[in-house]
Amino acid sequence: MKLRYALVDGERQEAQPKLRGSCPNCGMDVVAKCGQFRIWHWSHKQKLECDHWWEPETEWHRKWKGVFPDSWQEVIHYADDGERHIADVKTDTGLVIELQHSPISPDERLSREMFYKQMVWVVDGLRYKTDLEAFRSVVEFATILRDDPLYIDPRRKTGIFRRWAPLQTPVFIDFGDEQFVVAGCSLLEPVLWQFLLHPVTNDVVIAPVTRASFVDYCLNGGELRHLAVLRRPMPLRRPRYVRRYR
């Protein structure tokens, strides 16, 4: 199990060549792995299951963690019954941000949601190439359910829509710098795609949230800002996206 931080003489520290430390979760010895090709990390000396929820850290994880203060990253979270897990990010207000690169079963998702309670998922949409292509074509030809905030009905509920349909906590899909066209219009700024459930049909609905507002929401408790559509008067019927938020 790879970690960004370990305890060295009681202090949280990143891996440096030849450094030894202990795992903040299980207390076992960890060694610094500082190779040429992999990101530098700490690795348990013995093969053991320290936290079975932990997934190998990728560049994508590192990038996201790097948005937040050091002390918020890889925080051990305890439940009343003594169960403990390492949260990818836990803010100073107690919000856990789980960065999920690989798919996980609905059972595991639910147990993590119950364990952390106050949490959001950020999902790596670029894990599978097929997801990106499918998502692109879905939003391009999707039906706009609502202009402000912009809600889209993906119609086809396969792949990523099925895997990440919200259970109890909010889900945000991250497609990095990929550009999207929604019903003929380009988006004006980078977004995360929030997955919601339609209150009546219980189907997945998607809503683009500005990336900047998501980061502000996590860092400072700011408002999530959804994009909105401005309809031009007739005969210019083409909808247009503007920097209007709700």
By CB under 5 A, is residue 25 in contact with Zn ion?
yes
- ∠ CA 139-214-57 to the nearest 5 degrees? 90
**Segment lying near Zn ion (by CB under 5 A), choices 20-28, 80-88, 97-105, 235-243:** 20-28
Q: Which is nearer to Zn ion, 8 or 50 (CB)?
A: 50
Shortest Cβ distance from residue 6 to Zn ion (Å)? 9
Secondary structure class of 123 (helix, strand, coil): strand
- Residue 218's SS3 state is helix
23 binds Zn ion (CB under 5 A): yes
CB of 55 to Zn ion, least distance (A): 14
Count of residues binding Zn ion (CB under 5 A)? 4
Contacts of 38-43 with CB under 8 Å at 24 or more apart are 40/14, 40/15, 40/16, 41/2, 41/3, 41/4, 41/15, 42/2, 42/3, 42/4, 42/5, 42/6, 42/15, 43/1, 43/2, 43/3
Instruction: Give residues 29-58 in contact with Zn ion (rule: CB under 5 A).
Output: 50
Closer residue to Zn ion, CB minimum distance, 26 or 215 = 26
SS3 label, residue 227: coil
Stretch of 26-34, 102-110, 184-192, 238-246 lying at the interface with Zn ion (CB under 5 A) = 26-34
Among 7, 19, 26, 165, the residue binding Zn ion under the rule CB under 5 A is 26
Residue ranges binding Zn ion (CB under 5 A): 23, 25-26, 50
